[in-house]
Amino acid sequence: MRSNDGFREFVAMSSPALSRTAYLLTGDHQLAEDLLQSALASTYRHWRRVRDGNPVAYVRQAMHREQISWWRRRRPAEHLSGEPVDRRGVEDVAADVVNRVTLVQALAQLPPRQRAVVVLRFYDDLTEAETARVLGCAVGTVKRQAHDALARLRVLLPAGFTSEVSS
């Protein structure tokens, strides 16, 4: 049995969701691609061990660890611009774009750990325990980071803001 059995299928099936997570962690499409590629390369090296467990969780954890490494190297601050306008002709496209930009800009103002917790808990819909495993911390830390992040987002986002942005 080759060590990459099922890896291509895994990448094809899970890349769209993992790419969105990487984007929310980095706030930049190109950095997100780099982050995901790095995490997938790590996953490929350990595929025989990872494939029978939860490879998506492994990739998320690899992305988080790589992101921490990037933060430690102190990349220059980058400003998020949101996603490009979707030209489908739908009447509320402008409102969707404004919501996306507003939310991405607010997320960019959170400290990296809080942003990671918000993305994993509320975007990827992981439990507190799963988030703690991915981040390598205690469940109590996840709860505290989520509490602090949500309090900060309440200040940063306009009153009554609701995001029903499709991903």
pLDDT in tens, 13-61: 999 999 988 888 888 888 889 999 999 998 999 898 888 889 998 999 8
Write down the pTM of the prediction: 0.57
pLDDT of residue 2: 53
What DSSP line would sit under 36-50, residue for residue? Answer: HHHHHHHHHHTHHHH
What's the mean pLDDT when you consider all of the chain? 81
CA distance 29 to 83: 9
How would residue 148 be classed by pLDDT, with cut points 50, 70 and 90?
very high
Q: What CATH architecture does domain 93-160 belong to?
A: Orthogonal Bundle (1.10)
Tokens of 10: 């895994």
Angle at 31 between CA 120 and CA 13, to 5 degrees: 55
The closest alpha carbon to 153, from 124, 126, 119, belongs to: 119
Residue for token pair 């495993």? 133
Sign of the CA dihedral 62, 30, 16, 153? positive
The lowest-confidence range among 48-57, 60-69, 118-127 is: 60-69
The closest alpha carbon to 92, from 167, 159, 164, belongs to: 164
pLDDT of residue 93: 60
pLDDT at residue 141 is higher than 90: yes
Angle at 28 between CA 139 and CA 122, to 5 degrees: 30
pLDDT of residue 137: 93
